[in-house]
A = this chain, B = another copy of it.
Amino acid sequence: MPRAVREQQMMDAAVQTFGQRGYQAASMDDIAELAGVSKPLVYLYLNSKEDLFTACIRREAKALLTAVAAAVDARLPADEQLWAGLLAFFTHTAEHPDGWAVLNRQARTHGEPFASEAAQMRDEIVAYVGTLIGAAAKETHRATHRDPELAERDVAGLSQALVGAAESLAGWANETPGMTAWESAATLMNFAWAGLGNLMKHERWSPR
């Protein structure tokens, strides 16, 4: 078996163990056993528990960002882009609850260097969301000819709000039995796109 394949198996086992038991309680013995390899091989390939955890954070963050970016088609209208991105986000976090627990909980709650690693990945996601909101605002600006454009700081603040809302909702959804990715995405889409004011009047956004 090629080294790269075996490494991925070890990391699959590590993500599952870290996600379910937490960083402190997870042992390299558990991870090696779950991966079906010897503990020395895990150390040989991935060096230490700290390095293995960092590698897991990076892999899971990249997988999540890739899944969201792949779902968003820049040629679609802004609301359809947001909907596609949210649906991809909640689908990915629902299908990879251990990976999401590593990113959203474990990576942030065990000090450095993991917290910085998680913060850096989060900054990338916020910047990506900012690009989408900025592009959508420009498009609306062109279509409506209304001034002024959304200011850069507005866009930055809105990206922070949207990412924070998505993180919070995904954490809760994964702990709420029967909550589907579609339902989570629809809740946040309506909150973010239509706003609470419209939502309470039952003026919902719905996919075309």
Q: DSSP majority for the A interface?
A: helix
Q: Are A160 and B150 in contact (CB under 8 A)?
A: no
Q: Are B184 and A172 in contact (CB under 8 A)?
A: no
A179 B194 Cβ-Cβ under 8 A: no
Report B-chain residues with C-beta under 8 Å of the C-beta of A137: 200
Q: Which among A153, A161, A201 has the greatest number of chain B C-beta atoms within 10 A?
A: A161
CA distance A119 to B131 in the complex (A): 32
Residues of B within 8 A of A82 (CB): 196
Across the interface, A154 reaches (CB within 8 A) one of B109, B150, B187, namely: B187
Residues from chain B with a CB closer than 8 A to the CB of A108 are 108-109
Interface bin, chain A: 35 or more
Which chain B residues lie closer than 8 Å to A163 at the CB level? 168
Write out the residue numbers on chain B whose beta carbons fall within 8 Å of the beta carbon of A21: none
User: Which of the listed residues A79, A193, A195 has the most CB atoms from chain B within 10 Å of its own CB?
Assistant: A195
Report chain B residues within 8 Å CB of A36. none
Residue of B nearest to A107 (CB): B109
For the complex formed, measure the closest distance between the CB of A154 and the CB atoms of chain B, giving whole angstroms: 6
Nearest Cβ distance between residue A77 and chain B, in whole angstroms?
A: 10
Q: CA of A163 to CA of B195 in the docked complex: distance in angstroms? A: 15
Which A113-150 residues sit within 8 Å CB-CB of chain B? 115, 133, 136-137, 140-141, 144, 146, 148, 150
